[in-house]
Amino acid sequence: MNETTSDAEHIRKTLRLRAEALARPVAAPPDETEFLEVLEFGLAEERYALETAHVHEVQPLRRLAPIPCTPPFLRGLVHLRGRLVAVIDLKKFFDLPEHGITDLHHVVVLQKSEMDIGLLADTVYGVRMLPRDAVQPPLPTLTGIRADYLKGITAERVVVLDAPRILADPRFIIDENVHS
Amino acid sequence: MTRFVNLKTSTKLLVGFGGVLVLFAILLVMAFQAIKTIRQNDEIALAALAIENNLNEDRADILTMLGLHDVALRDRLITDLRSLSGEGDRLMARMRELAADNPSLLSGMDAYAEPRQDYVRLRDTQTVPLILKGQFDAARDAALGEQNNRYLAMRKISRGIREEASRQAHEEARRAYIAFSAVGLVTLAAAILMVWLLNRLIARPLRSITRVAERIAVGDLPEDLRSESRDDEVGQLAQAFARMTHSLKMMATFAERIAAGDLQGQPELLSDKDVLGRAFETMTHNLRELTGELAEGINVLSASASQISTSTSQLAAGAMETATAITETTTTVEEVRQTAEVSNDKAHSVSASAQRAAEVSEAGRRSTLDTIEGMNRIQQQMDAIADSMMRLNEQSHAVGQIVATVEDLAGQSKLLAVNASIEAAKAGENGKGFAVVAQEVKSLADQSRQATTQVRTILEEIQKATGAAVLATEQGSHAVEAGSKQAQETGRSIQALADSIVEASEAAVQIAASSQQQLVGVDQVASAMESIKIAGEQNSESAKQLEGAAHSIKLLGEKLKRLADNYRI
């Protein structure tokens, strides 16, 4: 008797777990003013996000051509549909561990007037909507380039980057002179 | 008579035979004389006969010449007449010579000679010359008449002489017969006398002495030997016999002393050549030494007999102990025999077991061969499995590539969805529906990505499993190979085991046979022990008898000692 009841209970629990797993929460219709549409991507173990308004496209990293005598964050150039895109590695700025470049990397191409800048992304998670109030300002203790690029951070520890600032960063303007 | 008796035997023989010989000599001489006389008379008679024949021939010749007138015959007859005349003279002379000592015959011869002289003269002077002149009638007249008378007278005289000689010979023969008879009788009497005397004086005493010698020869020494007082050889022989009997009696007495145990005396030596005396001397000497040594030996024998008595007592005790030990041994042998029977049964059962084990090992060997064949089949199947695994591995690799391609497609789809979302965001209000589509596409891409991930995971597991299976089949193949080798080795081992078991079986059979023989041998030993037991009992009995015998020997030794003490050395 006990076994049959326990078996029945077990079956019920299993079925409930499966139902919970398969259940999709009904998403409320997003409000444009309240929501921020971002492209979420990963660098190392951390998650970062960029506003889709500033993102031109996402492409897999193919045929990266390294350029000599450039700063280390500039990993090289990529040819995308007739355009040259400079690939910037943000991990150099955020002091994140380096794992090398593979075909699995993606390039997030940002819109800029003079030239396109591609941010190297380890993983692309997709586009999602973030409530604006969910994005909290960064901690005041942060300084340096992190403070400059950060727009906010969510409770889910997704770092929302400020794309215009990154694009405006003069450091990305490569001097023609060769640094010693 | 006594003097004759005392004469030597040769003298006696000479006297006796000499007398007889003398008589024989006389007889011989007489015979010679008689024969001579008779022969002389016979010769005279023969001569007279020859003279008569001569005369007759002479007369016949004359008459023949008168009758026959043949000149040749006449001459031959004349020659014959002359030779007849010569022969007649010679016969006359011979006759005179023979009858020289016989006067009667001589006178007859003279009477004959006178007419013959006239006859011969007339014949030669008248008759023969007349015949030669051929005057036969005159010759015949001269021849006949006077001449014929003369012839007849002459013939008568010669016949008278012949008859006288024969008569004298007969006379002489008669005298000789008488004389021979007398002398022969005397000789015979003398010979008989001699034989009687010699028998009386020699043969009879010799016979009595021979009887005495025969008695001595059978060991009888006569006491009453008469010694005859005679000086001849027979008397000396009798005296020598008496002395011999005396010395033999002395020796017999001495031997009786020795027989009585007195060894202290010495025999008297009768001469330097007394063999018997010397032998008795040597005998007493040797007997003295022998008796001394015998006494010593008897002492030793007595002591030894005592020791033997003691030893036989011990021997009897030992024989008793031996008998006891033999009884125990017999019991032990019986136990050994039972043990041998048990071991014999065991050996038989071991032999049967070894036989069964040999059959089992043979079956095991066949099973091992089957196992080896099965191993080979397993090997082949393992190879087939390995091939299948390799193909599975390759195919799973291909599936992996396909999955990778699908994953890549999913990634690209996701990127497309992202870019579509971005483009939709750029489109603003118009792109919202598109954004939803893009979101759905992205969701699909994620799902397909997850599916590929799951597939990849499964595939990896499959690959791991196949790798492990390949490895396992590899190891299995090796294991099967090793197993095959081991099975072969096992087969060889079982073969060796089977051989060993066969050997063991043979050995067990031999052991069984040996134990059978052992059983038989133990049975024989048991019977032998039984015999030994009987023998031991007999031994014990014999030892007891020996003990008694030794005691008897001991007593005998003491008795011998007493006997030896009787001898005076």
pLDDT digits 0-9 by tens, B136-153: 888 888 778 788 888 888
* B441, amino acid identity: V
Q: Is A131 among the domain residues?
A: yes
Nearest CB to B422: which of A57, A60, A104? A57
Beta sheet of A55-60, edge-to-edge order: A55-60, A106-110, A116-121, A83-88, A74-80
CB contact under 8 A, B425 and A52: yes
Q: Is A17 among the domain residues?
A: no
- Taking the CA atoms of B289, B292, B294 and B296 in sequence, report the sign of the dihedral they define: negative
Distance CA B552, CA B546 (A): 9
Q: Is A24 among the domain residues?
A: no
Burial degree of B273 (CB within 10 A; 0-12, 13-18, 19+) = exposed
Distance CA B527, CA B333 (A): 10
Q: What is the pLDDT of residue A38?
A: 87
Rounded alpha-carbon distances, angstroms, from residue B514 to B183, B292, B504, B509, B521: 122, 67, 14, 8, 10
Rounded alpha-carbon distances, angstroms, from residue B446 to B212, B404, B457: 181, 14, 16
On average, the pLDDT of chain B sits at 84
Residue A15: pLDDT above 90? yes
Chain B residues within 8 Å of chain A (Cβ atoms): 411-412, 414-415, 417-419, 421-423, 425-426, 435, 438-439, 442, 446
A126 to chain B, any CB pair closer than 8 A? The answer is yes
Which of B224, B197, B198, B201 lies closest to B211, judged by CA? B224
Cβ-based neighbour number of residue B480 at 10 Å: 22
Pairing of strands A46-51, A158-161: parallel
pLDDT band at B279 (very low <50, low <70, confident <90, very high): confident
Which of B569, B419, B64 lies closest to A106, judged by CA? B419
Instruction: Return the CATH number at A116.
Output: 2.40.50.180
Residue A63: pLDDT above 50? yes
Residues B173-199, mean pLDDT to the nearest whole number: 89
With the CA atoms of B49, B53, B55 and B56 taken in that order, what torsion angle do they form, in degrees rounded to the nearest 10? 130
Hey, which bits of B345-464 come out as E strands?
A: none
Question: Which of B407, B409, B413, B418 to mutate to test binding with chain A, by most A CBs within 10 Å of its CB?
Answer: B418
Q: What is the pLDDT of residue B29?
A: 92
Using an 8 Å CB-CB cutoff, list chain B residues near A59: 415, 419
A35 to chain B, any CB pair closer than 8 A? The answer is no
ipTM: 0.71
Nearest CB to B425: which of A37, A59, A60? A37
Rounded to the nearest 10 degrees, what angle do helices B233-259 and B275-427 cross at? 40
Residue B472: pLDDT above 50? yes
Question: Which of A58, A108, A127, A129 to mutate to test binding with chain B, by most B CBs within 10 Å of its CB?
Answer: A127
Total beta-carbon pairs less than 8 A apart between chain A and chain B: 42
Nearest CB to B422: which of A55, A60, A104? A55
The model's pLDDT over B96-117, given as tens digits with 9 standing for 90+, comes to 888 777 788 888 888 888 888 8
Cβ-based neighbour number of residue B459 at 10 Å: 19
CB contact under 8 A, B422 and A106: no
Question: Please, which residues have CB within 8 angstroms of residue A162's CB and are 6 or more apart in sequence?
Answer: A149, A150, A151
Q: Is A52 among the domain residues?
A: yes
Distance CA B197, CA B388 (A): 169
* B491, amino acid identity: G
Intra-chain end-to-end CA distance of chain A, in Å: 82
A135 to chain B, any CB pair closer than 8 A? The answer is no
Residues B232 and B5 sit within 8 Å (Cβ to Cβ): yes
The model's pLDDT over B48-85, given as tens digits with 9 standing for 90+, comes to 898 889 888 888 888 888 887 777 888 888 888 888 88
Q: What is the pLDDT of residue B225?
A: 64
Residue A138: pLDDT above 90? no
Q: What is the pLDDT of residue A180?
A: 45
Question: Which of A51, A52, A62 to mutate to test binding with chain B, by most B CBs within 10 Å of its CB?
Answer: A52
The model's pLDDT over B331-384, given as tens digits with 9 standing for 90+, comes to 888 888 888 888 888 888 888 888 888 888 888 888 888 888 888 888 888 888
Rounded to the nearest 10 degrees, what angle do helices B275-427 and B432-566 cross at? 170
Residue B154: pLDDT above 60? yes
Residues A42-66, mean pLDDT to the nearest whole number: 85
Q: How far is A70 from chain B (nearest CA, A)?
A: 29
pLDDT band at A26 (very low <50, low <70, confident <90, very high): low
Distance CA A47, CA A141 (A): 20
Residues B221-238, mean pLDDT to the nearest whole number: 75
Question: Please, which residues have CB within 8 angstroms of residue B148's CB and are 6 or more apart in sequence?
Answer: none
Residues B401-407, mean pLDDT to the nearest whole number: 88
Question: Which of A37, A58, A128 to mutate to test binding with chain B, by most B CBs within 10 Å of its CB?
Answer: A58
Q: Is A144 among the domain residues?
A: yes
The model's pLDDT over A141-160, given as tens digits with 9 standing for 90+, comes to 666 666 777 888 888 888 88
Distance CA A94, CA B402 (A): 38
Contacts 24+ apart (CB under 8 A), B324-328: B326/B529, B326/B532, B326/B533, B326/B536, B327/B533
A41: nearest CA partner in chain B: B418
Q: How far is A144 from chain B (nearest CA, A)?
A: 30
Distance CA B218, CA B232 (A): 28
Residues B247-271, mean pLDDT to the nearest whole number: 82
A39 to chain B, any CB pair closer than 8 A? The answer is yes
Q: What is the pLDDT of residue A13?
A: 93
Q: Tell how many helices (H) and how many strands (E) occur in chain A.
A: 3, 10
Q: Is A76 among the domain residues?
A: yes
Phi, then psi, of A161 in degrees rounded to 5: -90, 155
CB contact under 8 A, A57 and B421: no
Nearest CB to B425: which of A53, A59, A60? A53
Residue B3: pLDDT above 70? yes
pLDDT band at B560 (very low <50, low <70, confident <90, very high): confident
Domain that holds residue A168: 32-172
CB contact under 8 A, A127 and B425: yes
Q: What is the pLDDT of residue B419?
A: 87
Q: How many domains does chain A have?
A: 1
CB contact under 8 A, A127 and B426: no
CB contact under 8 A, B419 and A58: yes
Percent of chain A as helix, strand, coil, to the nearest 5: 25, 35, 40
Distance CA B104, CA B110 (A): 10
Using an 8 Å CB-CB cutoff, list chain B residues near A104: 411
Q: In the Cβ-directed half-sphere of A153, how many Cα atoms lie within 13 Å?
A: 14
Residue A133: pLDDT above 90? no
Q: Which of A168-177, B36-45, B325-334 has the lowest mean pLDDT?
A: A168-177
Hey, which bits of A31-147 come out as E strands?
A: 35-43, 46-51, 55-60, 74-80, 83-88, 106-110, 116-121, 123-131
CB contact under 8 A, A124 and B439: no
Q: Is A104 among the domain residues?
A: yes
Q: How many residues does chain B have?
A: 569
Phi, then psi, of A118 in degrees rounded to 5: -110, 130
Which of B150, B142, B158 lies closest to B109, judged by CA? B158
Q: How far is A63 from chain B (nearest CA, A)?
A: 16
Q: Which of A27-31, A99-103, B113-117 has the lowest mean pLDDT?
A: A27-31
Nearest CB to B422: which of A52, A104, A106? A52
* β-bridge partners, A49: A40, A160
Residue B242: strand, helix, or coil: helix
Pairing of strands A74-80, A83-88: antiparallel
Which of A163, A75, A162 lies closest to A122, judged by CA? A75
Q: Is A98 among the domain residues?
A: yes
